[in-house]
Amino acid sequence: MSELSNPGLAEAGLLDEPTTADLHAKVAEAWREFARALAAALPTLPVGSELELALDPTASGTGSAVYGVSVECLDDGSLQARAVSNANLPDGFRLERTAIAAMVALGWSPPGVMAGSRENFGMTGAGDGLANVITRTLRDVYGAPHPAFLVYEAHDREEEPVAIEPLGTARHESTVDAFLPSIDSLDASGLDLGDRVRIVVSAMLKSDPDELQVDGDGDIGIRAGSAMVFVRVRENPPLIDVFSPVLTDIEPTEKLFVKLSELTNRMPIGRLYCTAGTVWASIPVFGRDFQASHLALAIQVMTGLADELDDRLHGEFGGKRFFGEGDKPAGNIPEARIGQYL
């Protein structure tokens, strides 16, 4: 049976997030908030109850693959955690060897080794240490980009609900989409994807859907400081693209491409890229099994990201911000254009 032998290391690994970018710092703090709430909730689980946490499949496009962790309070009051293994994951979504090694490094026993773990990874522990390992498992191994993409619920042995305090920005199974007016409460049932998106965006902006700024391409525009964010609906396949032209009229240098790659690697979701003299930021949201909360999170991330990055990148590389009134030069020494390296 595997014991959580060094919770201090687990906590250190969770708290040492880089905070060089505001977005990354906010996401890291959301994970810390989730870990603290989970650490407080675990000791309150009644004997015989079980808390289940999972990455919402509609957030990651994993279909029937559910990456999750459960924690059961045994008869003696101890806590036993189980984490999904390849035995319960379909082809194409199974953990790679590096991920399995990461699970073992976090302290999980291999599937079937710990009594009661069945085909899952197993662990026993308590308090902060167990909460931090579970958080790192969901974030670093299973790939949850933000706690808002997690769904949780607690129940007893008769499958009756057990009350539990909120776990940060993670969503209780009974209140999915609750941090926005729900689609059903807005009479959106039966509407096509475009109409549902407009209802969600108008709810976020506290405006009427007919008052949204829509351009000739049908994209919804949302101003974010000196940047502009667009929401575009694609019907086939069903997809919502939340994007922003962060900078236009910019020289594509090797230094710029390296910078965009570094920033993309630090982003929890989405990507940055440069094409035809424009730096773009983009976050896709799955339209199939549409979840209002996923679109809301993408818009919240993009509005903060675009308004932050257009200023930062303009100061270093020049170009024009969307609402920068024609600003162009950066004052940096020109370097070889990327085309010269191809």
pLDDT tens-digit series, residues 54-92: 987 654 445 567 889 999 999 999 999 999 999 988 887
Structure confidence at residue 326 (pLDDT): 62
Structure confidence at residue 335 (pLDDT): 42
Structure confidence at residue 125 (pLDDT): 84
Contact present, 309 and 263 (Cβ < 8 Å)? yes
Q: Is pLDDT at 7 greater than 70 in this prediction?
A: no
> What contacts 325, CB < 8 A, 6 or more positions away?
none
What sign results for the dihedral spanned by CA atoms 173, 179, 185, 189? negative
pLDDT tens for each residue of 173-232: 875 544 444 444 444 555 788 888 888 887 777 676 778 888 888 899 999 888 999 999
Structure confidence at residue 176 (pLDDT): 56
Q: Where are the beta strands (DSSP E) in 144-226?
A: 150-155, 171-172, 213-214, 220-224
Contact present, 331 and 209 (Cβ < 8 Å)? no
Task: Enter the DSSP assignment of 333.
Answer: P
d(C-alpha 140, C-alpha 171), whole Å: 19
Position 143 confidence tier, pLDDT thresholds 50, 70, 90: confident
The residue ranking higher by pLDDT, 280 or 206, is 280
Mean of the pLDDT values across residues 235-254?
Answer: 91
Mean of the pLDDT values across residues 246-261?
Answer: 91
Can you read off the two tokens belonging to residue 3? 């014991």
Q: Is pLDDT at 10 greater than 60 in this prediction?
A: no
Q: Is pLDDT at 3 greater than 70 in this prediction?
A: no
Contact present, 259 and 287 (Cβ < 8 Å)? no
Mean of the pLDDT values across residues 270-274?
Answer: 91
Structure confidence at residue 269 (pLDDT): 79
The DSSP element (H or E) to which 199 belongs, if any, is helix 193-205
The DSSP element (H or E) to which 27 belongs, if any, is helix 22-41
pLDDT tens for each residue of 291-310: 887 888 889 888 888 888 88
Q: Report CA-CA distances (Å) from 224 to 74, 148, 203, 265, 297.
A: 50, 22, 17, 23, 15
The DSSP string of 106-139 is HTPBPTTTSTT-TTSEEEEE-HHHHHHHHHHIII
Mean pLDDT, rounded, of the chain? 80
Q: Is pLDDT at 15 greater than 80 in this prediction?
A: no
Position 1 confidence tier, pLDDT thresholds 50, 70, 90: very low
Structure confidence at residue 230 (pLDDT): 95
Q: Report CA-CA distances (Å) from 34 to 145, 243, 251, 322.
A: 13, 28, 41, 35
Q: Is pLDDT at 322 greater than 80 in this prediction?
A: yes
Q: Is pLDDT at 330 greater than 90 in this prediction?
A: no
The residue ranking higher by pLDDT, 181 or 260, is 260
Q: Which among 291, 305, 303 is positioned nearest to 148, based on CA atoms? A: 291
Position 126 confidence tier, pLDDT thresholds 50, 70, 90: confident
User: Coil, strand or helix: which one is 54?
Assistant: strand
Contact present, 303 and 231 (Cβ < 8 Å)? no
Mean of the pLDDT values across residues 307-327?
Answer: 85
Mean of the pLDDT values across residues 125-130?
Answer: 84
Position 17 confidence tier, pLDDT thresholds 50, 70, 90: very low
Least confident segment among 37-51, 290-304, 309-323, 328-342: 328-342
| Helix-helix angle 22-41:127-136, to 10 degrees | 140
Q: Which among 313, 306, 304 is positioned nearest to 332, based on CA atoms? A: 313
Pairing of strands 150-155, 121-125: unpaired
Q: Where are the beta strands (DSSP E) in the chain?
A: 50-55, 68-73, 79-83, 121-125, 150-155, 171-172, 213-214, 220-224, 227-234, 239-247, 271-275, 278-286
